[in-house]
Structure formats: structure tokens, C-alpha cells
């Protein structure tokens, strides 16, 4: 299962970072592949919260149905996703103290369709998605730090 991860140190409290990353209506302000949410975004995140996200990655637009598996403010979120053609994903956000700052870390694992052929195609997409991820982390840092 391909995996992508990254982290950034942000000069803010965990609560300040959590306020941004847990506000689904603000995903478009920092997540570069985000294209919108179907309907109104949930405002009270808890285990079992669901939403459908529109994403664009490697010139492909698709929808992912996300379900919260763990919401532990202001430290951790774990989401399971189901995408097109039987794809699945698991995304984790973690916030930890880094001196006077906070470290925001994420990891996303995804199971592409098509067995070995799908895994080969996913490898080609990984480098592009890593660039998108790095830019998203930089946007989040700028957004929270002001």
C-alpha cells in the first residue's frame, strides 16, 4: 500500500493549528488538491463524522467519502476514505509539542485499484503528490502563523 507523509513545525499552539486543520470549510485554504466538499461541511467533528471531498490529483478529479475513525482534539485525527473503483485511503493528522511551537504531521496510505498495475501507476503519482503535499504544508504554516 503506497504511503505518503510529511511534517512541518509551526510557530503556534496546538489549539491554533487544530482550529484550522479541523475546520473542514477551510481545507481549500491550505490543501492544494482539495476542490470542495459535497454539501455543507460538518462543523462538529467526532468519531463517525462523514463527508465527501472532491480532489484533483495528477490531472484526475475524483471524490473520496471520508469517515472519522478517531478525533482527539488537539492532538490527532484519523480518517478512512473510499474512492472510485474500490480505492481506499487512511489519513492521519497528528499535532505534538515542539518546544514553543507545534509539529503538524500527516500520513496517508492508499490502496489503488488494479493490483500490481495499480501499484505501478500509484508510484508514478507519488512524486507529484509529494510536491502537492509539501506545498500544502507550507500553506498551512503561512496560514496559521499569519
pLDDT category, 117, cuts 50, 70, 90?
Answer: very low
Q: Where are the alpha helices (DSSP H) in 1-146?
A: 14-21, 27-30, 115-145
Query: What pLDDT does 57 receive?
Result: 78
Residues with Cβ within 8 Å of residue 47, at least 6 apart in sequence: 68, 69, 70, 71
Strand ranges in 28-75 using DSSP code E only, listed in sequence order: 34-37, 50-57, 60-72
Domains of the chain with CATH codes: 3-145 (3.30.530.20)
Nearest by Cα to 74 from 18, 127, 142, 35? 18
Measured in degrees and rounded to the nearest 5, phi and psi for residue 117 equal: -60, -40
2-35 pLDDT per residue, tens: 678 899 999 999 999 999 999 999 999 999 999 9
DSSP bridge pairs for 68: 79
pLDDT category, 141, cuts 50, 70, 90?
Answer: very high
Query: What pLDDT does 145 receive?
Result: 97
35-61 pLDDT per residue, tens: 999 999 999 999 999 999 999 877 789
Q: Which three cell numbers stand for residue 62?
A: 475524483
Query: What pLDDT does 120 receive?
Result: 46
pTM of the predicted protein model: 0.87
62-82 pLDDT per residue, tens: 899 999 999 999 999 999 999
Nearest by Cα to 27 from 93, 88, 74, 83? 93
pLDDT category, 112, cuts 50, 70, 90?
Answer: low
Tell me how far apart the alpha carbons of residues 142 and 135 are, in angstroms, rounded to a whole number: 11
DSSP bridge pairs for 92: 78, 107
Query: What pLDDT does 109 receive?
Result: 86
Stretch 115-144: mean pLDDT: 74
Amino acid at each position: 500500500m503506497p504511503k505518503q507523509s510529511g511534517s512541518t513545525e509551526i510557530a503556534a499552539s496546538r489549539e491554533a493549528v487544530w482550529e484550522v486543520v479541523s475546520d473542514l470549510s477551510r481545507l481549500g485554504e491550505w490543501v492544494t488538491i482539495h476542490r470542495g466538499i459535497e454539501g455543507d461541511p460538518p462543523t462538529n467533528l467526532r468519531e463517525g463524522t462523514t463527508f465527501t471531498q472532491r480532489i484533483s490529483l495528477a490531472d484526475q478529479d475524483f471524490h473520496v467519502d471520508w469517515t472519522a475513525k478517531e478525533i482527539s482534539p488537539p492532538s490527532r485525527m484519523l480518517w478512512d476514505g473510499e474512492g472510485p473503483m474500490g480505492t481506499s485511503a487512511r489519513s492521519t493528522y497528528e499535532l505534538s509539542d515542539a518546544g514553543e511551537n507545534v509539529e503538524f504531521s500527516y500520513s496517508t496510505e492508499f490502496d489503488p485499484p488494479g493490483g500490481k498495475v495499480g501499484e505501478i501507476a500509484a508510484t508514478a503519482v507519488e512524486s507529484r503528490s509529494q510536491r502537492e503535499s509539501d506545498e500544502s504544508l507550507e500553506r498551512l504554516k503561512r496560514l496559521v502563523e499569519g
